[in-house]
Amino acid sequence: MVLDFAGYRTYDSIIRCKEIFKQSRFTIISQPTHNARALFLAKELGVDAVAFAAQDVPGGYSFRTYLREYLARPKAILDVYLLDRSRYESKRASPVQQRIIHYK
Cβ neighbours for 51, distance < 8 A, ≥ 6 positions apart: 27, 28, 29, 30, 35, 38, 39
Q: What is the pLDDT of residue 97?
A: 41
Amino acid present at 48: D
- pLDDT 10s digits, 10-35: 898 898 889 888 999 999 988 888 89
Spatial distance between the Cα atoms of 20 and 33, rounded to a whole number of angstroms: 26
Q: What is the pLDDT of residue 42?
A: 94
Separation in Å, CA 57 to CA 25, 42, 48: 27, 24, 27
Q: What is the pLDDT of residue 36?
A: 92
Spatial distance between the Cα atoms of 35 and 50, rounded to a whole number of angstroms: 9
Q: What is the pLDDT of residue 85?
A: 61
Percent of the chain clearing pLDDT 90 (strictly above): 23
Q: What is the pLDDT of residue 41?
A: 93
Low-confidence ranges of the chain (pLDDT < 50): 88-104
Task: Give the sign of the dihedral formed by CA 36, CA 39, CA 41, CA 44.
Answer: negative
Task: Give the sign of the dihedral formed by CA 11, CA 12, CA 13, CA 18.
Answer: positive
